[in-house]
Structure 1
Amino acid sequence: MLKIWSMKQQQQKNEAAAGPAAKKKKVTAAQLRVQKDLSELALPQTMKTVFPNPDDILNFTLHLTPDEGLYKSGSFSFTFAISQNFPHEPPKVKCQQKIYHPNIDLEGNICLNILREDWKPVLNLNAVVVGLQFLFLEPNASDPLNKEAAADLQGDRDRFKRNVRSSMQGGSVKGESFDKVVK
């Protein structure tokens, strides 16, 4: 036991003598899980991930360009902020563009059940990506964050389609201006 203690003290002295540059970065459980999830991510051509800081895999951006549905031809960016409690806590995901969508409010918050009450540690980042993709194919008016868009979708689908097209062009809907997301 004394030998282990003296070895540990010697290791600490060596690390202190080597300075801060020689210190190894500790990898957290969250980083290991995110690394695994990212390696298993099978993104279609309509999506790509960008890491602003290559050393920080817990914060990245997902770019999504739907190739079908009402939001076809739009380009949307989502920031992912993953806490050290991942996978026990869901990632925080936000849309960077102001868009007209029943499940995305004007501040970019997203109403996706697996990002809230239905999150389970067995879910992975691929489940979140598929969920985001599905929101653009099938907007859900029964669980809205943007109640006006949801009311349009439920009450007059043609008006909803016109409002989506107008907003994606950078127009305004009901006095609210939106970001141009069509390239």
Structure 2
Amino acid sequence: MSFLATKRLSKELKDLNDKGCPTGIQLLQSDDLHKWIFELEAYDSIYSDDKLALMFRFSGQYPIDSPAVQFVVGELEGATYKAPVHPHVYSNGHICASILSDGWSPVLNVSAVCLTIQSSMSHEFTQTSLSSHSVLTSCKSKQLPPDNDRYVARAPENPKKTRWEFHDDTV
């Protein structure tokens, strides 16, 4: 891992440990600077009863290169997590969101990504809440992406290796 990545991730982790995570977000694992896992609560939404966790994997080029971010699907520390049923989230946990690919900016950080994804699950989320870094939009009903089965059958293990086509930011 590069010096810049180590320095930046160490600072972000220190800030999370010193100041705490934003409301509804809990750091579950941060054993090293390569992979972190957060639990998310999506208050006031159709996902409020769902157990959600996000996994971040960092390359040596972070923060220039975006982290690989996906929902955890399966057992973790005695809890069972599922990907939310959402038009921009595939059942394998991959998230189709510009903020995680060509919309990434090095000024963003882990907390900002967690908050953006958490906010996108809330009924009170609006398109203007994210400015140009729109990830998902307010979702009023649970439905998978129309190409979920095809994508999951052929998806790479790392969501960053997918060439996303961002086509519908209205759900």
Q: TM-score range by the shorter chain?
A: 0.5 to 0.7
**Cα distance change on mapping 1:139 and 1:63 into 2, 3 Å:** farther
Question: Which residue matches 2:102?
Answer: 117
Specify whether residues 38 and 65 from structure 1 end up closer, same or farther in structure 2 by C-alpha distance, changes over 3 A only: same
Length, aligned pairs only: 124
- Rounded to whole Å, the distance in 1 between the matches of 2:27 and 2:135 is 27
- What secondary structure sits across from 1:130 in the alignment? helix
Structure in which a larger fraction of residues adopt helix: 1
TM norm structure 1: 0.57
Q: String of CA shifts for 1:120-139, please: whole Å, max 9, x gaps.
A: 11221122111111221149
What are the ranges of 5 or more consecutive residues in structure 1 without an aligned counterpart? 1-25, 168-175, 177-183
- Work out the percentage of aligned pairs sharing the same amino acid: 24
CA distance 1:130–1:99, change in 2 (3 Å): closer
- Contact 2:116–2:135 (8 Å) recurs in 1: no
Cα distance between partner residues in 1 of 2:61 and 2:42: 31
**Unaligned stretches of 5+ residues in structure 2:** 73-81, 128-133, 150-171
Alignment of 1:99 onto 2:75? no
1:40-79 alignment, distance < 5 Å? 40-41=15-16, 42-51=20-29, 54=31, 56-79=32-55
Instruction: Return closer, same or farther for 1:82/1:139 CA change in 2, 3 Å cut-off.
Output: farther
How far did 1:102 drift? 1.3
Distance in structure 2 (CA, Å) of the matches to 1:71 and 1:129: 15
CA distance in 2, matches of 1:130, 1:77: 13
Larger Rg: 1
Partner of 2:93: 108
* TM-score between the two structures when normalised by the length of structure 2: 0.60
Relative to structure 1, is the Cα distance of residues 29 and 144 closer, same or farther in structure 2, using a 3 angstrom cutoff?
closer
Whole-Å Cα distance in 1 between the matches of residues 90 and 23 of structure 2? Answer: 26
